Amino acid sequence: MNDRAIGPRQSERAGDPPARDLRLPYAAWAWEYLRRNKDYGRAYRASFTGRARPIPLNTGAILIREKRRWSDAEQWGLLSFADPEKSCDEANVFWRPDRLAGALPVQLVRFADLARNSERRRHDEIELRRIPTRRVILETVDGARHIVLGGRRFWVQLLCENPASVGERCAIEVKINSTQHYQRKLDTASQLLSLYHSAGGKLSLIGRSRDSTRLAQGIIAIDIVNAGGFHRDVADAIYGAEKVAERWGGPSRYYEDWARRLVARARFMVNEGYLSLLGKKTL
């Protein structure tokens, strides 16, 4: 009798979307792990009263104006609560800039101010509203403006502490005034420039090479276990049922030990390890 709680078809769907896309940036992987944390889900639901509603702008962006500081969300590494039911493609996720090594400090400048400065030329500037991607703007109670430019293959988060412009009709000027995480910030700036000039075309990841296979496997593993599956189901989903059947229960216990370690690692990432991804030296 087969007492396994999850079938092969369920195992194949675990982690989708987007866990099988190995090109996700680390900030997206961090969210995919955090949103599977049940305690975070409860905290999100408890924050319903007082959460600001997203406002669609006529430029295509989304604006969120917070009326309070979310200290509960900050404990999770966030500036405000994001919906755990939504993947990194859809959720309005803003990591705390002190947690996200690649958070890029910028100044948002009105074009009228640029025109008054003869040393600046408008066509040399990056215009926020013309960046061809999903754009979400968060205005926090301290007056700062945080902007996330999101996509499956990139995650650009900008911070403007003293915005001189309202809305998206403004130019972005990069202001890197600290050597802390300097290379990460340069990578983000390079990606911002590449994104602006891509006109919606193909954009490659920028930064040093990395392998996200274990991160993807961890997401698949935790989804299977949370659905009531066992270590055998995890091994079947990743290595294939036929291959696993040949060695499962054998003297080496290779797949048993591998699945056990993977699930333990995935649980750690869901509970607290996701924060370590935000400080990685690559995007």
pLDDT at 252: 92
- Give every CB contact of residue 100 below 8 A, 6+ residues apart in sequence: 27, 157, 278
Q: Residue 16: which pLDDT band, with cuts at 50, 70 and 90?
A: low
pLDDT tens string 44-65: 999 988 889 999 999 999 999 9
What is the overall mean pLDDT for the chain? 85
pLDDT tens string 229-258: 999 999 999 999 999 999 999 999 999 999
Contact 15, 33 (CB under 8 A): no
Lowest mean pLDDT among 113-117, 125-129, 176-180, 184-188: 113-117
DSSP state of 270: I
Task: Enumerate the β-bridge partners of residue 65.
Answer: 139
Of residues 206 and 95, more confidence is placed in 95
Q: Residue 11: which pLDDT band, with cuts at 50, 70 and 90?
A: very low
Reference 232, options 198, 214, 259; nearest CA is: 259
Helices assigned H by DSSP within 199-253: 213-226, 231-239, 241-247
What does the domain layout of the chain look like in residue ranges? 210-277
pLDDT tens string 123-157: 567 889 889 899 999 999 999 999 999 877 889 99
pLDDT at 177: 82
Contact 170, 109 (CB under 8 A): yes
pLDDT at 49: 84
H or E element in which residue 143 lies: none
Does the structure show a pLDDT above 90 at 269? Answer: yes
Q: What is the pTM of this model?
A: 0.87
